[in-house]
Structures are given as structure tokens and as C-alpha cells.
Chains A and B, each alone.
Chain A
Amino acid sequence: MTRPMPPFAVLAVPALVAAGGLGPLQAADPAPIPGSPQTFVLPNGLQVALFEDHSLPLVKGELRVALPPPAEDPEAWLRPLGLRMMALGGSGARSAAAFAQAADAVGLQLPASLGPRAVTWRFTARAQDQGTALDLLADRVARPGFDPQALEPARLEAWSEVGEAQALPRARLRFDRSLAALPLPAERQLATLDPTMLAAWHRTRFRPEGARLALWGDLDLAQARQLAILAFGAWTAGAPAPAPAAPASPAPEPGPFLAALPGEACELRIGLVEDGTDAALRRYLGPWVLAQLQAAGLHPSDPLSGDPLVVTADAPLGVPAAPLKARLEAALEALPATFGDRDLAALARQATAAQVLRGLHPGDQLADALAPAAAPRDLETARTVLRRWLGAANRRLFASGDPGALAGLQAPAAPEPQAPVSTPKR
């Protein structure tokens, strides 16, 4: 595939070659193994994995940029708003309208999802448009423009969210942010935010050496290398984010998050904080947790969706929430001790089976390449992970309903957090 280089890439590639940066890319290409990606690393540290498949004229991809743990990032509060601004603004040399038009012209969408320690963008494009698609992706991620005109509506929206007067949306927002371990911005922080600050935030957080790109589809290794260099070769990060001397924004609230709605039946949710701790191990244990909670007659969300696990229960009007809360907590509390060798073996079989089925879904292959699950090394490790995940310190409570029904939902004592378990390499 040939196409003209964008101006920045024409400048960047010779510079990289002159610096000897292409060394790792010049090794002989190994033959692709079906189901296994071919991998290489750009001189700027971006890791690339390629699943070759020439059965359709199509290319799919995911780019995952690592972020520091929220607790270590004094500007963690800025992430949702910053990402919204990246999606609204232009990129590279394009205005917002020109960017949208260029993307729509090739049927390209670039949805982003914010996780506790990473942002992930996905795309799908015809093979003939793969270069355009990667250029647009690189522009959005590495060279975003923060439009001052788009900032004001986004600031107002964030302001109205933070200052929401109604009990229900306010409680929901605070609950969601607490589960994501992201503090809400203070009004002062929102008021002083400007495009320069956003650009500095982006420059220090979005770094190629913490990014991984996975590609699937109708391109070979040589094409993938050329495209990756052209699109991302010029991406260089600024200085790393400064270590926080003192937290600039408060830690997320522990709750409980209550919304008094006179005359309404009670809805109660217990959510588990997802700050990236034990992420790969939780992905592995997630199906077991889901099955156990469902077998107990509860209504959990899917822990594999990437969102924090939330267990929901409703009570008819007039029924108090406290017993419901006790029931949910007891169910979560009991699980780690019930996890045994048979469960570990069953999960291993399930993981093997899932690996076989992954060949049916290119999207799963990409996701797995960027965020794999990892098996715990033994039973005790698994139980430790479960205790930390499901334990009282990691739970957050949301409840809405008649004030009478909400009586007795006390704020939990804040227990000491435990250290995470290291994730074994696959």
C-alpha cells in the first residue's frame, strides 16, 4: 500500500533513521503464527502487535495509553473532562469540523473508553483507508487541539454536574466517580482551567512509551511498520508528570451515597472500586464472581465489561434498605472463603476454552493483546485478590428511596487499604 506521507512524518522518519532508531525494526520478520500477534516496538517506545488476516479488506485496531494510578495523579479529576475535550476538538492541523468530516468520509469512528489506568481508542476501517484511519487516530491521541470555544460548554456541563442540586443525579455521579477512584473537580479547578493547562496535562500524561497499539486485518508486518512509523513515529512525550508533593484534589469520597426520594421504593447498589489494582487477576476471576453472585439470586453487572462491578437490589415501598444492604454485604463477604481448588481448576479450563473461541472474534483478540487476564499463581493468591476486591474497604454504597427506608445506612468505617498482589507475567 502506498500513500503520501503527512508533512510531519516526512520530517520525522529521516530523523529516526539517522538516529539509528529503526534498528529493532530491521530484524528478519518471523512467520506469523495463527492466533498469535507479531510484535515490534517503535523507537519512541510505542509497542505494536499485529494479527494478520487477509480474509476481508478490513483493518481493526485498538490503541491503549497507560495513565498513572489515580491516587498518584494530582490531576486525575481532569481525566473525564480532558477526554471529552480531546473528542470535541480538532487534531493536528485540522479543525474540529475538518476532523469530523475526514473521519466520516471513510466511515471512521474513534470511541474512547477511560479505565482506571489507561485510555483505549478503537477503530475499524476499510483496508484502503488504513493509512487515513491511523493518521486520524494518531492526530486525536498524540496531537489533539484544545478548542477554547469548545471548552466553555464543556466547563459549564462539568460545572452543572458537580453542582447538581437534585439528590438522585448528584448521588449517582458521586457514586460512579468513587467507583472509578476519580475525585470530582472543585469549582475553583473548573473555573481556572484553560486550553494551555489542558495541553500541558495531555503532554505529560499521554506518552508513547506507555502506549500499545494492536492491529488486526488485511495488512502485513511491513505495512504495519510503515503505517505505525508514519502515524506515530513523531509522537514524543513531554516531561513525565511531576510527582505529587501533596494531593491537589481530595480523594474520592467513600460514601455512602444516598438520595432521599419521598414516597419512592428503595433501590440499593453496592459497587466495588476499580482503580486498576489486580486488574489482570480480576479479569481472570471475574466469571467466577459473576456466576456466584447470580447463583445467590443477586443482580450483578458484568465484571468483564471493564466497568466496576455493581450489585443491585430493589425493595418494595415501605421495606427498609438496611437488611438488603446486609444481605448484599454478606454475599460479597462470603465469596473469598468459598473459592477452592475446584474453582481454580474450573477457571483454568474455562480460560483454555475461551482462548479457543477467541479466534471467532477479532475484537477479543485485540482486547486480549492489550489487556490480558492473568491466572493467580495459587489458591491463596486468588483468595487474597478476592478479599481485596470484594472486601469492605473496596465497597461503596448507593441507595435511593423514601427517607424512612434509608434510615440506618451508616457510613462505613474506613479500613486500611492492603497492598496489591503483583501480577504474574503470562
Chain B
Amino acid sequence: MRRSLPPFLAAMVSGALAAQALPPAPPLPGLTERRLANGAEVILVRRPGSGAFRASLFFRQGGVDEPPQLLGATELLSRCLLGPAWPEDLRDDAGLEPLLQQEDTLAESLRMAGAQGGASPDREALAAAHGALLDRLEARYDQDASQEAYRAAGGLEVQAVDTRDFLAEGVELPAEAFGLWCRTEADRLRRVALSRLPFARASLVADLKSGAFPKDPAVAVLLGAALPGHPYGRNLGDYAAAVEALRRDDLRAYARRACSPGRMAVVLVGDLDPGAALPVLERTLGALPAGTPPEPPVLPDLNLALGDRRVQIQGEDSRVLAGWRIPARTSPDAPALEVLARILGGGPSARLPLRLKEIATDIQVSTGRPGARYPNLLVVDARPRPGHSLQEVEEALDREILLLRQAPVSQEEWSRALAQLEVGRLDLQADAGDLAAALGVAWAQTGSWQGFSAEADRLRAAGPEALQRAAATYLIPSHRTVVEVVPDPSRRLDAQDRAFLEVLRTLAQRQVEDPAQRESLVAEGLRQFQMLPQAERTKTLDLLRRQLQGAR
């Protein structure tokens, strides 16, 4: 699931951009690379004198790799395997495991009872028993945040994040806590206790059902419509029921494979001496069993020239999102497309902010949506100014894209884009957290940390003419999907309209995979529903509700 990334990962996009503008590239100063005995990779950048270090674990296993029966597993692992290191995940507690198993069984029974619909004494008894068990579990946990292992050692910025491409965690610690970090991570990856799974699952399901995710529904529709059938286009918000049905044993088994050393990179930046640090790593994280990585996912062969698609949805304000299917980060054309994004939207004097400023605002251009291991999207996002229409903005955007295809970019624009990218690259290197993130993301997306700098050589060799070639290849109508967001009339909906929308959306999620088709169906359904006389509306709503109950 795509959540807003913490700062250390928010830098990754600009890191990907910045990587392509390096001057002739020396290897990163102070960088040591090593493969541990069990296959885990270590990337260590020494920064003497700071007295502290940033430690990250990256697993090349993201939402895109989830098998259909384990949708949401990556998100759950980021919530209850990685991040804060709680005492109950790190100690032997003979009484805890039976309680967790009992909770898992009760939760499944409760879910099954719920699926049968309606209230019943059995279901109420189950719910009461489950609630009591959760209370007992909670009572065993340390609620005092100071007991978290890293905070107790003076650590900060304990984070875990899941993306479509990878799962990662990071923490900042004083240099003397390096041994503690190695032992703690090795210990929890060996145990995979998932002690807080009941609460993490309930919280995720509540988030999904409440509509809190996806945070930006327009982007979710764009991804679904532009990348149909591919996990990049999937919206976890449609799979709350599947997440609710995840069992603890299945998730633990998956975690052991997904987080196996062969899919792991240890990224360290800070005041660490490789000579002293590597033996400690070998004894701890290097001693984890190699395990068996999960089968690679069977992904559809995405046709980039799928055809021009167009979807209209309702939202708070007018907005247009145009996405073009572009190749993965490892493609020779990827650096040129990154620079094109910068030429279109990098700064107030870039083409779109400058030339569309009279008619559009909040113009954003980005690549790598929603990831970059596989074909993804270059997205232009803009809002019409008051008095201007979506069509005007789209037409102006088309003209600018056409110009990119027809004429080479000027030397001045090329130099400006390179300067911006170089500032971004240097800025990433200045901050230990950002550098660790950039190296880890490059490793996860390209197979090596050198993805952070090697792309620069490709771009430099290509020159500005490569941009026109890339635009003519990818920024064409057959690669494009447009989502138009028109102001939401739902503020004028009555309670019955809203109930109808809720039921129809739930039904549509089960039967129509393509979000674009689904949105069209729901919008048309609402239009017809609103035209019915009151009695017919009530009857129709009852009918749909019964259909929903039957489907359960």
C-alpha cells in the first residue's frame, strides 16, 4: 500500500533523479560493500566524527510481490515486524504464544460469523471473548515508549515503510549502540514473533474500511486504469476483507521468506569503522539462516502502448492527472525520462509552471509512480485556475508534450535540469538518513546501490538529443491515461444517496477489477438512482443490500 513516505524515503524520488546528473563519477567516498555468508548485502558509508549512525534494512519484497492470498502482508509486516523494537518481540514468554494463537482463532471465527450477516448471540459471545483476549494481550505489553529497545539506547527516527517495490526500516543511534542494533535485528528476524499483529491488523482493516486509504483516490484510479492487471495498479483499499482474513501462521511463514537474507540489504551511514563493524554483522545478521526466498510473482507482460485511456471521477476540486507508461528504472531510457520530468516541472521557470501559469496551478510532474522496479508512470498533475476548464489545461499540456517530441530541448534547459539534479544528489549525500535511503532504494529497484550513481554516466553519454527521442517513444497518446476530477456533487447527496453509493461501490469492487470501469459504473448507477421516484429508490436500495448480504 502506498502511504505518505517518511522524509528518509521521500528523498528517494529526487535521489533517483539526482543520480543521473553526476559529473564523472568517483565511487562514493567511504563506501564499503560486502556480501555476508548467508547472502545478505552490506553497504556501509563511513562518516567519522559524528558519533552516530543511521542503520537501515531493505528487503526487495514489496506490495508488488505479494501473492493473491497474502494481499496486505507487506503493510502488516511494516506495522508489526519492523520499526520499533518492543520487548515482547525480543524475549521468551511462554505464556504469550498460546494467547496469540487463541486470538487468531477467535478473530477468524468472528470474521466468519460476521460474513454470515446479522447479529446473533453466538457472534456477540465471540466478540466478547475476543475483546477480553485483546485486553489480556495488551496487559502483557509494555506501553511505556521508553522501554522500546532503540529509544532506551538513545535512538530516534525509528521508522518502517512499505512500498510497492520494497519493505524497509531505519533508525538512528549513537555509535556505541551498533552491537545492540545488530543483535536486536537478528533476534527479531529469527523469532518473527508478530506480537502486536492483532492490533496492527485491526488498525489496518479499520483504515481500509474507513476510506483513509488510498490517501489520494484520483491517483489510485489513475494507477488502476493505466496499469490494468499489474500489481502496481492494485488498490489495497479494495481488499479489506482479504486483509482481515490473513492468519498469523501464514503471515509468519511469509515473513520468513520475504525477509530472508538473500533479499536483504543492510545500509549503514555514519561513524562506523568497517573493520570493526563487519565481523559484528557477520556474527549477527550474517548468522541468520539463508532460508528460501519466495517465488517471484507472476506478473502480466505490461504493454506500454496499451492505448489512450480516459476516466472521469468526482472529487473535491477540478484536477487533471495525465500519466504515461514508461519503462523500469533499469531501462536505458529511464534517465532521459527523469530529466524530461524536470524540464516539464522542475521549478517555476520549467515549461509547465511557466507556460501554463495563467490557466493552471499546483502543477507537479513526477516519475516512478507507484514504483520503478517495473514499468511505471510519468505523471503530470495540475488544477485549473478559477475561470478555466479542465479541457483548456489538457490542451495546453498536449501542446507542451508535442513540443518535446518535435523539437530538441535547448542547451540552457538541459544545463538547468542537470544543475537541479546535481544539487539534489549532493543534498541527499549530505544527510545520513537521505543517503541511506537513496542507496537502499537504488539497491531495491536496480539490484545494486550503484544505481544511485551509474545512471549518471548513461545520461551524460546520451546528451540532450536523447530527451527528444525518449519523448517521441513514450510521451505519446498510446501510452497515456488521463483522469479528470470534477467537483464532487456528494455535498448535495441525501442520506439515501450516500447509502446507495456505499453499497454499490462494495458490490462493484467484487465484480469489476478495472477501477476506471468501476468508477464509471458507480457514477452512472448514481445518476439513474437519483432519477427514480422515492418508493423505487427505497426498493432498489433494499434489493442491493440483500444482494450484498447474499454475496457474503
Contacts and interface: CB of A to CB of B under 8 A. Distances in A.
Interface of B is mostly: mixed
Interface of B: 29, 47, 49-54, 143, 145-146, 154-157, 172-174, 210, 269-271, 346-350, 354, 386, 412, 415-416, 419-424, 426-427, 429-433, 491, 493-495, 498
Contacts of A103: 347-349
Given A101-B349, A357-B174, A346 B146 contact: yes
A426 to B, nearest CB: 20
A359 B430 contact: no
Interface stretch (A12-20, A67-75, A348-356): A348-356
A56 interface: yes
A48 to B, nearest CB: 20
Interface in A39-62: 55-58, 60
Given A353-B156, A357-B174, A360-B432, A124 B423 contact: yes
A346 B51 CA distance: 21
Contacts of B495: 262-263
B522 to A, nearest CB: 18
Given A58-B426, A124-B427, A346-B146, A104 B346 contact: yes
B349 A107 contact: no
Given A100-B348, A104-B350, A261-B491, 11 more contacts: A58-B427, A97-B349, A105-B415, A105-B419, A107-B347, A107-B422, A124-B423, A126-B419, A126-B422, A295-B143, A360-B53
A339 to B, nearest CB: 14
Contact of B145 (A56, A109, A291): A291
A362 B47 CA distance: 13
A298 to B, nearest CB: 14
B433 A361 contact: yes
Nearest to A109: B347
Contacts of B412: 105
A261 B491 CA distance: 7
Contacts of A100: 347-349, 354
B124 to A, nearest CB: 19
A363 interface: yes
Contacts of A101: 349
B193 to A, nearest CB: 22
B3 to A, nearest CB: 15
- Which of under 10, 10 to 19, 20 to 34, or 35 or more describes the interface residues of A? 35 or more
Nearest to A343: B146
A140 B173 CA distance: 38
Contacts of B54: 360
A104 B349 contact: yes
A84 to B, nearest CB: 12
A106 B423 CA distance: 8
Contacts of A240: none
B51 A356 contact: yes
Contacts of A362: 430-431
Given A97-B349, A104-B346, A109-B347, A357 B419 contact: no
A56 B45 CA distance: 14
A125 interface: yes
Contacts of B421: 107
B303 to A, nearest CB: 36
A52 to B, nearest CB: 12
Contacts of B146: 346
Nearest to A102: B349
A126 B430 CA distance: 12
Contacts of A360: 47, 50, 52-54, 172, 269-270, 431-433
A287 to B, nearest CB: 9
Contacts of B419: 105-107, 126, 129
A34 interface: yes
B23 to A, nearest CB: 10
Contacts of B354: 97, 100
A357 B174 CA distance: 7
B51 A353 contact: no
Interface string A293-313: 011000000000000000000
Contact of A263 (B29, B143, B426, B498): B498
B53 to A, nearest CB: 8
Given A105-B416, A356-B51, A60 B154 contact: no
B51 A359 contact: yes
Contacts of A350: 154
Interface string A95-118: 001001101111111000000000
A125 B423 contact: yes
Interface in A168-220: 217
A405 to B, nearest CB: 13
B347 A104 contact: yes
A360 B157 CA distance: 12
B426 to A, nearest CB: 4
A363 B431 contact: yes
Enumerate the 6 nearest inter-chain pairs by beta-carbon distance, A residue then B residue, closest first.
Answer: A353-B154, A107-B423, A359-B50, A360-B432, A107-B420, A104-B347
Contacts of A34: 49
A171 to B, nearest CB: 14
A406 B53 CA distance: 49
Interface in A75-94: none
Contact of A104 (B174, B420, B433, B493): B420
Given A100-B348, A107-B419, A357 B52 contact: yes
A356 B154 contact: yes
B482 to A, nearest CB: 27
